[in-house]
Amino acid sequence: MKCPFCNFQESKVVDSRPANEGISIRRRRECLSCHKRFTTYETMDTLPIVVVKKNGNRQSFDRHKLVNSMLRACEKRSISLSALESAADAIEQELHNELGGEISSERIGELAMGKLKNLDEVAYVRFASVYRKFKDINSFLDELNKLLHEREK
């Protein structure tokens, strides 16, 4: 590991511990030349997730885009950012677990709606209204009736 202070190529590991709930390892290192310490993180290398849009275009999965879209649905609701981050983490993990590497944008939207439904029903309906492109009040009422029916079960 190259030292960020003097660019010397060798360092020794002074301390290692799990970080980010076991997703990565935090390593405290010491440069063998200048003896300054610095921290590195080791994470597992994963294959990129490719999102196939409705028009057939492909782009890399953007976790921040997912969080921002859920955040917009949760405006003026009492949902913490950490809850949305956890939902996004769960969605991303589920996408990595699916085989193929290419995921449709519809699948991501469905996963996001499922997480929002568990967090806040109003945020869920807001997200669904944009995602499913409700055309009129009847579309909105249909979704609300589905929610009420599920709640009664």
Whole-number Å distance between alpha carbons of 52 and 141: 30
pTM above 0.85, yes or no: no
For residue 153, give both structure tokens.
């079960």
DSSP the chain: ---TTT--S-EEEEEEEEETTTTEEEEEEEETTT--EEEEEEE---PPPEEE-TTS-EEE--HHHHHHHHHHHTTTS---HHHHHHHHHHHHHHHHHSTTSEEEHHHHHHHHHHHHHHH-HHHHHHHHHHHTT--SHHHHHHHHHHHHHHHH-
Reading the chain (153 residues) residue by residue, the pLDDT tens digits are 899 999 999 999 999 999 877 878 999 999 999 999 999 999 877 778 899 998 999 999 999 999 999 999 999 999 999 999 999 989 988 898 887 678 999 999 999 999 998 999 889 888 888 877 777 777 778 878 888 888 777
Domain boundaries, the chain: 11-43, 50-152
